[in-house]
């Protein structure tokens, strides 16, 4: 299999782990409220000290996404946002010197419709470093993992809290860059606290893999980032960010980016 040690996502997470540091992985919906704002947000997140960002590729039938992200997908699709336009925006960010490790959160339906090899090649050419395909099964993962690696992309796999322990370890074997551990069963959304069993499950999983483990779903405040990062290698924050983008979506892209940059700074504070 293609060596991914030089892949930006793999390298970034590995370097942070080796240094004993933790990662904040913000999630935004690509093209929401517009693609100009997306590029501005990426630059602002990088300036504030984030290392990785997930870009949700809008889809008409979101998988495990709660109402906040679903609504952002609907708005982006209505505005004509599609993969080609997202790839162009990501390429612009790279051409402007952007260095964040970028992950596409994309439904397998989109990848399949475009042709798996072509879609992954286009994503890599645009400047993506990895992808998360939430509806990709473990049984289908090895073939796609190989195709992704050949394109220079890390295929990040998800583990649910009710996944049996043996299957968790098998999923971890097929995940590159990091393992996305879902904190709660159900959909994304801001929560007041995370289940203690999730923290325990991640601690147990880390005994069986050297791949970084990051926790997402429900992480919404700095104190939750701190708690997650006490056991995991990183915290993924999505709905809380998209919610704040919605609050400012009528503003100019630079003002949206500034408002969200302040929130990113708050989330990073406990793990600096």
The rounded Cα 39 to chain-centroid distance in angstroms is 16
What backbone torsions phi and psi does residue 218 show, to the nearest 5 degrees? 95, -10
Q: Which of 46, 65, 75, 129 is flagged as catalytic?
A: 65
Cα 238 from Cα 263, distance rounded (Å):
12
Give the pairing type, strands 154-159 and 234-237.
unpaired
Q: Which of 44, 54, 129, 233 is flagged as catalytic?
A: 54
269 in catalytic set: no
Q: How far is CA 17 from CA 99, 109, 215, 229, in A?
A: 18, 33, 15, 11
DSSP count for the chain of H helices, then E strands: 12, 8
Q: What is the DSSP-derived secondary structure letter of residue 267?
A: H
75 in catalytic set: no
Question: How many CB atoms sit inside 10 A of residue 64's CB?
Answer: 15
Alpha-helical runs (H) found in 19-66 = 35-48
Angle of helix 67-78 relative to helix 239-247, nearest 10 degrees, comes to 50
The pair of structure tokens assigned to 234 is 């990183």
Alpha-helical runs (H) found in 151-270 = 165-173, 196-205, 222-229, 239-247, 253-268
Cα 112 from Cα 232, distance rounded (Å):
32
Active site (catalytic) residues: 54, 65
């Amino acid at each position: 299999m293609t060596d991914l040690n030089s892949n930006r996502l793999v390298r970034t997470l590995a370097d942070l782990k080796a240094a004993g540091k933790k990662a904040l992985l913000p999630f935004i919906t690509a093209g929401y409220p517009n693609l100009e704002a997306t590029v501005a947000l990426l630059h602002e997140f990088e300036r504030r000290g984030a290392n990785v960002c997930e870009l949700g590729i809008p889809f008409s039938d979101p998988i495990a996404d709660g109402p906040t992200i679903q609504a952002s997908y609907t708005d982006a699709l209505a505005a004509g946002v599609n993969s080609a336009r997202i790839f162009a925006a990501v390429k612009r960010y790279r051409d402007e010197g952007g260095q964040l490790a970028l992950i596409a959160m994309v439904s397998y339906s989109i990848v399949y419709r475009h042709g798996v090899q072509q879609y992954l090649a286009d994503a890599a050419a645009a400047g993506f470093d990895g992808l998360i395909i939430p509806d990709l099964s473990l049984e289908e993962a090895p073939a796609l993992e190989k195709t992704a690696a050949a394109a220079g992309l890390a295929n990040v796999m998800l583990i649910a809290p009710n996944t049996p322990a043996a299957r968790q370890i098998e999923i971890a074997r097929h995940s590159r860059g990091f393992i996305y551990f879902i904190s709660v069963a159900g959909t994304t959304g801001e929560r007041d606290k995370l289940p203690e069993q999730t923290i325990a499950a991640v601690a147990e999983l880390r005994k069986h893999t050297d791949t970084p483990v990051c926790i997402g779903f429900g992480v919404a405040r700095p104190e939750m980032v701190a708690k997650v990062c006490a056991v995991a290698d990183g915290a993924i924050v999505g709905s809380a960010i998209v919610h704040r983008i919605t609050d400012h979506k009528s503003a100019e892209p630079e003002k949206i980016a500034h408002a969200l940059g302040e929130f990113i700074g708050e989330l990073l504070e406990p793990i600096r």
